[in-house]
Amino acid sequence: MKEIQRVSPVGFKSTPLKTIKRDNWEVVMEYSGEGDGPWLVDLSHRPRFDLQDSNLEAFTPFGLTIPKVPGDCVLENGVLVNRMNGTQVSIYNLEAQDISMPDESGYTDVTESTICIALIGKETFSICEKLTALDFKDPQKKPPFLFQGPFSHVPCQIVTLSKEGDKSGLVLTCSRGYGRDMIHSIQDAGVEFNLNPAGETRFTNWIRIGSKIS
């Protein structure tokens, strides 16, 4: 039986230098001309899950305690858990290996119905200021923290992972259908800041070394 080829809704015009096959996705690990940052990274192939239940306190997704306050997040061992409201949590696998959806009821795999991108490096928030009024550098909030709101006029979940200067960065998800327009708007806003696409290796290195948040 022929395996289904999974295709990211995100496309860059840059030339891939290194790609790998993972779970039927073609993942770009490095692009030509990535430059010195900021960078836009496609993470749409990374597993993402939605958890809904009236008793979220009974769940520990991938061994993690769900934050009690909406907007609060926890990032451990490459897994990001975001409290959305009283009954809903979003879960992103940003770096962990061999993660599959839990067998418990309440979970939904949203990987292929959404896009996931990371915007990292210097001038990240200068680019964001051109696309949304959300304050990703809110001094009252400690990363990681979640905002749910419009980004380039599209309903999104956006998690600030780091606010530290050149180490700044966030991840963003929205409906798959907005993928092409979202990428276009971010790249257009980033032209003056020399924003370039980057492969997964760039994000992994940033998570492990640059941001000091893993």
pLDDT digits (tens, 9 = 90+) for 51-64: 999 999 999 999 99
Where do the domains of the chain lie? Answer: 1-214
Report pTM. Answer: 0.93
pLDDT digits (tens, 9 = 90+) for 134-173: 999 999 999 999 999 999 999 999 999 999 988 999 999 9
Lowest mean pLDDT among 2-6, 41-45, 89-93, 191-195: 2-6
Planar angle of CA 126, 112, 5, nearest 5 degrees: 115
Whether residue 139 has a cis bond before it, omega within 30° of 0: no
Q: Helix, strand, or coil here: 174?
A: strand
For residue 179, the model assigns a pLDDT of: 94
The tokens describing 4, both together, are: 């289904």
DSSP annotation of 189:
H
| Non-local CB neighbours of 58 within 8 Å, separated by 6+ positions | none
Q: What residue type is 134 in one-letter code?
A: L
Domain 1-214 has CATH 3.30.1360.120: yes
DSSP structure string for 104-146: STTEEE-GGGEEEEEEESTTHHHHHTTT----TT-TT-PSSEE
